């Protein structure tokens, strides 16, 4: 409950400071925020836009939050998501003659697997060499960006006569994910997965192992839990979620892989996970909030004549206040409770401890 | 001049949730005395000191320094009034030198900005000479033994002109020798006019060093006395509120077959051997105590025996079955119970509930899990049963263990380990930092396990604990077992000689006792 209050306060403060910035630039915050709201939820089309923007963020938010539970900081969600997106595209345009109920899930599975395997690398490196996952995942992000750029401009390039940019061919209709009314099926999948992740973390023995490793890996070893296996498995599942996010984006929204279309989706997962206080059920509303801001920003730019970038500023402010939790607690006169599960952002620098 | 340098009258401190940590507490300190403040964990000693040091504000009551009423709003105020405090956990920067640590926050400067280290160093030297606190001003703090680090903390307070020194459980982290050195330092300080408040729950220490003793229980002062008016038994009764059995009650051991059999165990740390070809046999129904000054390989031996470390060489046989190393799960499944040396680091997951901590080693087995699914009902019932059975004081099975007192945290570990069918128990410092009541309880339980036929290996830095619990005693020195005795045929002084490395039994004797496989060439 307290963590919900902390997140809500951070959001309110960010919106408040955003309003001050709007005022300073001569725009009525009411008008701007009103347009934002309308652009995000005003009609069925707006709602669909919001849900589409939120969907990949639920996946990447879950990916980052899940890794946090084992006190692993997966900054590599971006790279895992890119690989998931391009592999799903490859299966989507490259495999022909399958019915939709096989083709679409197959492409999703391929994307998820790509993300999972890619995330296994930092997991294995951490366990066997002590290389910190923050460093290795950042590095692997570059590899993913360049690899996907190469594939989209090389072997998998769209060779149709009209095309001059780097992109893959469009995926076949049978690989596309349907949209039900304003609700994209990818969003439904993401919400179900949030429930599955919750179940996994809190209702299964594997989840207990993950949380034990996350809160005290020495005690985990003492209790006979294989910390190495748990860490690798956690990274694999985290990467699977991110990869699936990329696949859903390809099959549900973009319709092909094109460099530049998935920028930041993985990184924003970090914002989402922190806003959600790493709880899978918090990830969905957090992603909806950020998704709505993205969806409504064009309307706001049009109606209130403010640059879209104000949205980025507000998002950054949210992250700032969430990170400055100490500040928020002081404002809310909230004491840190003994025994609160702590979010450990980085363990194992240098000492391997 | 007032009779007291420091006086607290009617101090009351309530915490949210209705806990009255201090209930109209009166306490006073005479110039140049060592005044012990004795009480169990949670009795309110530290709260009172934190009020005097300005970390908390009292809800009621008044503090006087040199007979004048004062208001202490922060440690800054306290320091200005000449009050210094050495916390249980040191507040030192490991990579700074002794001098740098001492002057930190009160730096000597030239031109208002340039650090004058040579002069600071000189001041530190003078100070350490004046009070007889030997310390190298240029040594890095991280290179110093714990006892010397503590001396640096004391110098830090003296450097800020402390006349009143609060030492919060200063002996908890020290070896017996270091405790003696600390006591010598405290006497010197007292003779030079420093008044010392010595917080502890160890009865022997109080009787050895204090001029006066104030005993607290459940937030109230039970009474103030002097060492010549009381003995351990009386102090323990004051502290706990009932008669306490300080002697462990046990019948002679009835040893059965060998349960734990280790041979030629060698553990190296960065290529340096720290456990040197140790062999040991522990029989069912006996307690084998390992005596030794801390840091002589006991920790590494324990880690090797509990699956936390892979030794370079050796074999481990449990109940006739050969065991792999570095695999706690297999050892646990074959009957290992382990009370770890550091309960908060290895023994508990502090943010987890009591219920979850009680199934930390068995969470994956029925009835606590069916396949992948955890069984919350079974986990909860297990917790309720063990809380009752092991007398764990807590608000309920779902509260985080971080909120429990040290004694109750240890009871959680004991309950978890003893409620499984174990064959071999490794108890490493099982009562470190606990109060008298909890120590009594845990000792009784360990003897019960022995009587049920469990083989117990006890490692402890407290010689009293080794003497009173063990049936056989092995002495460990520099990674080797240098002597083995029947517990009733040896005294403390003799053990001390072996612990200090002054004596060792002959190889033939050691081979005959089963702690060596061969005589040295």
Q: Considering only residues B97 and B242, tell me which one the structure prediction assigns the higher pLDDT.
A: B97
Which stretches of B142-300 are assigned E, i.e. beta strand? 164-168, 195-200, 212-217, 220-225, 258-269, 272-283, 287-291
Residues 6+ apart with CB under 8 A from A68: A214, A273, A278, A343
The mean of the pLDDT values for chain A is 91
The mean of the pLDDT values for chain B is 91
Q: Span B409-429, mean pLDDT?
A: 95
Helix or strand or coil: residue B160?
coil
Q: Considering only residues A207 and A330, tell me which one the structure prediction assigns the higher pLDDT.
A: A207
Q: Span A207-235, mean pLDDT?
A: 96
Give B271→chain A minimum CA distance, Å. 18
What pLDDT score was predicted for residue B1?
55
CATH second-level architecture of B245-335+421-521? 3-Layer(aba) Sandwich (3.40)
**Of the candidates B11, B148, B173, B10, which has an alpha carbon nearest to the alpha carbon of residue B89?**
B173
How far is B30 from B47, CA to CA, in rounded Å? Answer: 21
pLDDT digits (tens, 9 = 90+) for A26-68: 889 999 999 999 999 999 999 999 999 999 999 999 999 999 9
Give B318→chain A minimum CA distance, Å. 17
Q: Tell me the pLDDT band of A353, cut-offs 50, 70 and 90.
A: very low
Distance in angstroms between the alpha carbons of the first and the last residue of chain A: 32
Q: Considering only residues A345 and B345, tell me which one the structure prediction assigns the higher pLDDT.
A: B345
Chain B residue nearest residue A215, CA to CA: B349
Exposure of B101 in the CB half-sphere (CA atoms within 13 A): 28
DSSP B413-471: HHHHHHTS--SEEEEESTTTT--HHHHHHHHHHHHHHHHTT-EEEEE-S-HHHHHHH-S
β-strand partners of A15: none
Domain ranges of chain B: 6-240, 245-335+421-521, 349-420
Q: Span B7-20, mean pLDDT?
A: 85
- Burial per residue of B122-144, b for 16 or more beta-carbon CB atoms within 10 angstroms, e otherwise: ebbeebbeebebebebeeebeeb
pLDDT digits (tens, 9 = 90+) for B462-480: 888 999 999 999 999 999 9
Chain B residue nearest residue A217, CA to CA: B346
How far is B10 from B72, CA to CA, in rounded Å? Answer: 15
* R_g (Cα) of chain A, nearest Å: 21
Residues 6+ apart with CB under 8 A from A95: A103, A106, A107, A175
DSSP B47-65: HHHHHHTTSS--SEEEEEE
Residue A350 has pLDDT above 60, yes or no: no
Chain B residue nearest residue A202, CA to CA: B374
Give chain A's length.
Answer: 353
How far is A312 from A268, CA to CA, in rounded Å? Answer: 11
Helix or strand or coil: residue A336?
coil
Residue B16 has pLDDT above 90, yes or no: no
Q: Considering only residues B237 and A353, tell me which one the structure prediction assigns the higher pLDDT.
A: B237
Residues 6+ apart with CB under 8 A from A268: A57, A60, A61, A290, A315
What pLDDT score was predicted for residue A193?
97
In percent, the amount of chain A with pLDDT more than 90 equals: 78
Q: How many beta-carbon contacts under 8 Å exist across A and B? A: 78
What pLDDT score was predicted for residue A348?
45
pLDDT digits (tens, 9 = 90+) for A306-340: 888 888 898 889 888 888 877 777 777 666 655 56
Per-residue 3-state assignment (H helix, E strand, C coil) for B235-273: HHHHHHCCCCCCCCCCCCCCCCCEEEEEEEEEEEECCEE
Residue A352 has pLDDT above 60, yes or no: no
What pLDDT score was predicted for residue B410?
93
Give A215→chain B minimum CA distance, Å. 7
**Of the candidates B195, B250, B269, which has an alpha carbon nearest to the alpha carbon of residue B6?**
B195
Helix-helix angle A227-249:A185-203, to 10 degrees: 170
**Any idea what DSSP says for residue A254?**
I
Q: B318 near B331, Cβ under 8 Å?
A: yes
pLDDT digits (tens, 9 = 90+) for A77-108: 999 999 999 999 999 999 999 999 999 999 99
How far is B21 from B500, CA to CA, in rounded Å? Answer: 42
What pLDDT score was predicted for residue A351?
35
How far is B324 from B482, CA to CA, in rounded Å? Answer: 27
Q: A151 near A94, Cβ under 8 Å?
A: no
**Any idea what DSSP says for residue A335?**
P
- Binary contact (B349, A339; C-beta < 8 A): no
How far is B488 from B499, CA to CA, in rounded Å? Answer: 18
Provide the pairing of β-strand B60-65 with B6-15.
antiparallel
Q: B340 near B347, Cβ under 8 Å?
A: yes
**Of the candidates B419, B466, B467, which has an alpha carbon nearest to the alpha carbon of residue B445?**
B419
Q: Exposed, middle or buried by CB within 10 Å (0-12, 13-18, 19+), for B384?
A: middle
In percent, the amount of chain B with pLDDT more than 90 equals: 65
- Binary contact (B363, A222; C-beta < 8 A): no
B378 inside 8 A of chain A by CB = no
Chain A residue nearest residue B400, CA to CA: A339
How far is B331 from A224, CA to CA, in rounded Å? Answer: 9
Instruction: Report the range of poorest mean pLDDT among B213-222, B251-260, B494-503.
Output: B494-503
How far is A163 from A256, CA to CA, in rounded Å? Answer: 13
Fold agreement between B6-240 and B245-335+421-521: yes
How far is B454 from B275, CA to CA, in rounded Å? Answer: 25
Residue B293 has pLDDT above 50, yes or no: yes
ipTM: 0.89
Question: Which of A220, A223, A338 comes nearest B402 by C-beta?
Answer: A338
Chain A residue nearest residue B368, CA to CA: A205
Query: Cα separations (Å) of B306 from A179, B418, B427?
Result: 56, 16, 11
Query: Cα separations (Å) of A343 from A68, A112, A214, A327, B351?
Result: 7, 26, 9, 16, 11
CATH 3.40.50.300 is held by the domain B6-240: yes
Predicted model pTM? 0.82
How far is B335 from B166, CA to CA, in rounded Å? Answer: 45
- Write out chain A residues lying below 8 Å of B361, CB-based: 223-224
Q: Tell me the pLDDT band of B17, cut-offs 50, 70 and 90.
A: low
Exposure of A340 in the CB half-sphere (CA atoms within 13 A): 12
How far is B445 from B411, CA to CA, in rounded Å? Answer: 10
> CB A26: neighbour CB atoms within 10 A?
8
Residue B25 has pLDDT above 70, yes or no: yes
What pLDDT score was predicted for residue B178?
80
Q: Span B103-123, mean pLDDT?
A: 84
Residues 341-370 of B with CB under 8 A from A: 345-352, 356, 360-361, 363-364, 369
**Of the candidates B82, B90, B73, which has an alpha carbon nearest to the alpha carbon of residue B167?**
B90
- Binary contact (B352, A221; C-beta < 8 A): no
Distance in angstroms between the alpha carbons of the first and the last residue of chain B: 71
How far is B169 from B144, CA to CA, in rounded Å? Answer: 20
Residue B324 has pLDDT above 90, yes or no: yes
Residue B46 has pLDDT above 90, yes or no: no
């Amino acid at each position: 409950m307290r963590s919900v209050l902390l997140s809500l306060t951070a959001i309110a403060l960010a919106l408040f400071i955003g309003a001050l910035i709007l005022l300073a630039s001569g725009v009525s915050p009411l008008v701007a925020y009103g347009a934002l709201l309308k652009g995000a939820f005003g009609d069925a089309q707006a709602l669909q836009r919001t849900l589409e923007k939120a969907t990949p963020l639920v996946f990447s938010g879950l990916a980052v939050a899940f890794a946090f539970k084992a006190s692993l900081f997966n900054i590599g969600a971006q790279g895992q998501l890119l690989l998931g997106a391009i592999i799903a595209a490859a299966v989507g345009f490259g495999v022909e003659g399958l019915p939709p109920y096989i083709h679409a899930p197959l492409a999703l599975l391929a994307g998820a697997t790509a993300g999972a395997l890619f995330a296994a690398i930092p997991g294995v490196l951490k366990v066997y060499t002590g290389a910190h996952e923050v460093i290795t995942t950042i590095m692997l992000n570059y590899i993913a960006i360049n690899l996907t750029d190469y594939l989209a401009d090389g072997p998998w390039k769209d060779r149709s006569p009209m095309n001059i940019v780097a992109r893959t061919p469009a995926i076949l209709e049978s690989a596309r994910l349907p949209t039900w009314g304003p609700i994209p099926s990818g969003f439904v999948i993401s919400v179900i997965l949030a429930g599955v992740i919750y179940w996994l973390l809190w209702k299964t023995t594997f989840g207990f192992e993950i949380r034990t490793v996350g809160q005290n890996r020495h005690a985990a070893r003492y209790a006979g839990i294989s910390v190495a296996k748990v860490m690798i498995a956690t990274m694999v599942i985290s990467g699977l979620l991110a990869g699936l996010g990329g696949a859903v984006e390809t099959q549900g929204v973009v319709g092909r892989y094109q460099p530049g279309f998935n920028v930041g989706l993985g990184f924003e997962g970090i914002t989402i996970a922190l806003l959600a206080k790493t709880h899978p059920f918090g990830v969905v509303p957090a992603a909806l909030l950020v998704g709505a801001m993205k969806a409504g920003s064009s309307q706001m730019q049009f109606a209130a004549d403010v640059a879209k970038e104000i949205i980025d500023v507000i998002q950054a402010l949210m992250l700032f206040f969430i990170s400055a939790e100490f500040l928020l607690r002081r404002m809310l006169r909230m004491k840190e409770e003994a025994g609160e599960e702590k979010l450990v952002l980085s363990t194992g620098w240098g000492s391997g401890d | 001049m007032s009779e007291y340098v420091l006086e607290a009258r009617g101090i009351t401190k309530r915490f949210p949730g209705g806990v009255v940590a201090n209930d109209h507490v009166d306490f006073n300190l005479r110039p140049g005395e060592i005044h012990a403040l004795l009480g169990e964990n949670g009795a309110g000693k530290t709260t009172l000191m934190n009020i005097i040091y300005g970390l908390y504000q009292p809800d009621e009551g008044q503090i006087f320094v040199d007979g004048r009423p004062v208001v202490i709003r922060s440690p800054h105020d306290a320091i200005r009034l000449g009050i210094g405090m050495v916390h249980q956990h040191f507040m030192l920067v490991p990579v700074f030198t002794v001098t740098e640590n001492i002057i930190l926050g009160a730096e000597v400067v030239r031109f208002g900005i340039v650090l004058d280290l040579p002069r600071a160093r000189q001041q530190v030297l003078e100070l350490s000479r004046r009070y007889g606190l030997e310390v190298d001003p240029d040594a890095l703090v991280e290179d110093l033994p714990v006892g010397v680090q503590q001396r640096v903390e004391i110098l830090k307070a003296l450097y800020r002109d402390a006349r009143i020194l609060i030492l919060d459980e200063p002996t908890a982290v020290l070896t017996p020798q270091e405790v003696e050195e600390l006591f010598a330092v405290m006497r010197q300080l007292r003779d030079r006019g420093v008044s010392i408040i010595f917080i502890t729950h160890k009865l022997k220490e109080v009787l050895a060093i204090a001029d006066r003793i104030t005993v607290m229980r459940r937030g109230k002062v039970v009474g103030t006395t002097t060492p010549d008016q009381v003995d351990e038994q009386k102090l323990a009764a004051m502290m706990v509120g009932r008669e306490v059995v300080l002697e462990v009650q046990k019948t002679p051991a009835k040893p059965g077959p060998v349960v734990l059999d280790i041979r030629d165990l060698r553990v190296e740390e960065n290529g340096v051997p720290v456990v040197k070809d140790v062999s040991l046999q522990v029989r069912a129904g006996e307690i084998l105590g390992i005596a030794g000054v801390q840091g002589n390989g006991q920790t590494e031996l324990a880690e090797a025996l509990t699956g936390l470390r892979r030794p370079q060489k050796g074999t481990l046989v449990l109940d006739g079955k050969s065991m792999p190393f570095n695999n706690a799960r297999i050892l646990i499944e074959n009957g290992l119970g382990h009370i770890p040396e550091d309960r908060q680091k290895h023994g508990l997951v502090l943010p987890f509930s009591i219920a979850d901590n009680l199934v930390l080693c068995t969470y994956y087995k029925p009835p606590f899990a069916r396949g992948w699914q955890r069984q919350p009902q079974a986990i909860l019932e297990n917790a309720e049963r063990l809380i009752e059975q092991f007398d764990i004081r807590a608000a309920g099975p779902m509260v985080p263990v971080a909120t429990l007192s040290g004694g109750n945290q240890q009871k959680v570990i004991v309950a978890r380990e003893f409620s499984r069918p174990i064959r071999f128990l490794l108890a490493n410092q099982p009562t470190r930092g606990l109060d008298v009541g909890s120590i009594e309880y845990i000792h009784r339980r360990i003897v019960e396990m022995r009587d049920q036929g469990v083989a117990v290996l006890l490692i402890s830095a407290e010689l009293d604990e080794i003497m009173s619990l063990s049936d056989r005693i092995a002495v460990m020195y520099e990674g080797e077992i240098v002597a083995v005795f029947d517990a009733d045929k040896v005294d403390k002084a003799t053990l001390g000689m072996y612990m200090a490395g002054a004596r060792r039994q002959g190889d033939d004797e050691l081979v005959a006792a089963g702690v060596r496989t061969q005589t040295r060439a």
